[in-house]
Chains A and B, each alone.
Chain A
Amino acid sequence: MSTTNGNLLEVKDLRTYFELEEGTVKAVDGISFELKRGETLGIVGESGSGKSVTNLSIIRLIPSPPGKIVSGEILFDGQDILLLPEAAVRKIRGRRIAMIFQDPMTSLNPFMKISKQLMEMTQLHLGYTSARAYEHAVKMLETVGIPDARARVDDYPHEFSGGMRQRVMIAMALSCEPELLIADEPTTALDVTIQAQILELIREIKRETGTSIILITHDLGVVAGMTDHLIVMYAGKVFEQAPTKELFAVSANPYTKGLLRSVPDPLIAQGDLYQIPGLPPDVAHLPSGCPFAPRCERAQQICREEYPPFVRVNVDHHSLCHFAREVYEESLHERKF
């Protein structure tokens, strides 16, 4: 496996726009990040903040038209995916970059047996014979903890529960031992107990195989224990980017702080739950200043007029805010108590 400076994935200034009748929607607007082998990256943000579009861009699955990757580079193992021909990208999809989708109820083909869907991967990418692919499918189901896998492998998706379907999706994604696993809100559609099991499974798999993972979620609780680095997205832009521990401890962005405050803490009796005032902006009509300014508690005149800078407040810790340093200092101060 050739590596260039240890990064499996480097995204540089990725911009994915959607040309709609009501204007250009800048779903992802200049996002950059790196992912080393064996690391887990979390991407957090509200609905519509561009998390999923980022990841669909990585494997070039943006519906086009209306979607278009306007600029940027996506270097996967040193190779710019955006410059590859479609056939070459198809060889990467599933084989080297696998995805787990949000809703396991709709992500499996209702008319295909589980075995067929699992076998397709290895037959397609690894050239397995159907007998070998079948055995592999059974093994993968056992790996992800489906009881009595051999008996269930020929079932149809509707005979599986939500949690089990998500396990099947994970088994499918892992069949070819991908180098990068993109999990797009893998637990959103599941209830809390199953959620914990699936997360534990992903964590286990990561420990066993050393796969790099991008975990997209809007649940801060999910990323807290799972990721090494964290990206907070808002309105298609990276608002804060930091190692997970640092971001939770000393956030340098008012939006991140707002997000952290909105998580209910069962250990502290609270009155009303905190919520960030206002609604996420319409990405088709962004104000000229900071996109978060209308909802920000500490917004000043400058926030409404000038686009904020991407400030480096610490090693590996960046924040998109006019007052990044001040917020960072504040967080450090709060932490002392």
Chain B
Amino acid sequence: MHRTHVKVLEGVLDANGTIAQANRDDFDRAGVSVVNLMSSPGAGKTTLLEKSLWGLGVRAGVLEGDVRGSLDAERIAALHVPVVQIETGSAFGGECHLDANMVRSALPALELDELDLLVIENVGNLVCPAEFRVGEDTRAMIISVTEGEDKPLKYPLMFRACDVVIVNKIDLLPHLDFDLDKLLYHVEAVHPGVETMLVSARTGEGIGPVRDWLVRVATREAVPA
């Protein structure tokens, strides 16, 4: 019995990357721009989409990733926005993120040619989704002011993986011991120069710039190289 040493030198997530590229090719062929939207659970992804996709002037669709259920998809469908639910709950009690293959399996349910913009609402989680590309053009994350100013320091990969950081629930600031300047300083410390937007999805404050940004993504004016 002896051992043979075999060089592999292969990225662990190369297979995911290959499928992500196939998704990206499909999106490009259909002329649809794709946002991967991430946050911790309860930061307000679905509420933000409810407030920003309505009457946007571009044809938008949503892929909803959740461990279980279709509650979020029903909220989006109520806006007459095409929506497809991905449940990740089949494996080991539910995957904590969407990967390229899960997104790929959901694409036949969407008329991509009929869309300018597809928002992929990832599973609520500040760690895992940042590791998995799904074929998106751009990535955005939401941090809500109920979560603590130190989150960028605790989850740097997520904050560094995003092109836009949306700070939500600012209507609650008067009721919280939350230091907004400190949060923005920490965001800048882990991702210097990243674009930030301050919003309240509940009251609609600050939603205008988010909508403008989505339109720029849809028309490919805000897609990073």
Q: Do A and B bind each other?
A: no
